[in-house]
Amino acid sequence: MPTYDYNCRSCGKTFEQVRRFNEPASPCVCGSSDLSQIFHPPNIFVKGEPTTLGQLSERNTQKLGRYELDNKREQQTKGDNKKEAPWYTKSGTSSASEIQKMTPKQKANYIKKGTK
């Protein structure tokens, strides 16, 4: 059952009652039924979530740094992605597997020139 806090308006005493939601409040020790209920903020604890502005800003700063690094890495890898020429345009001798991959026209050129 929930616990409720009350303040007696006639004597000023504050007291606590354990009762069901739909039951009326019991009168004060002084006998007065002129009571006001005292409301308290709920106690809520969220595990792992930031609760202060400092913690929120720290979390945002950490994420911002990671995103900036990811963005720079993407830019760096864009410059490194140079397309290489196909294997059949390179000069030099070819291996058996490379020759098998050639079309008949490429094989004829390879035989005539001796290079790829």
DSSP-H helix ranges across the chain = 53-80, 96-101, 104-113
Give me Rg for the CA atoms of the chain. 41
> What size, in residues, is the chain?
116
CA distance 104 to 37: 95
- Give pLDDT < 70 ranges for the chain: 44-51, 63-70, 76-92, 115-116
Give the per-residue pLDDT at 106.
Answer: 87
Contacts of 7 (CB under 8 A, 6+ apart): 13, 14, 35, 36, 37, 38
Give the per-residue pLDDT at 114.
Answer: 72
Give the per-residue pLDDT at 102.
Answer: 86
Give the per-residue pLDDT at 82.
Answer: 61
CA distance 4 to 97: 86
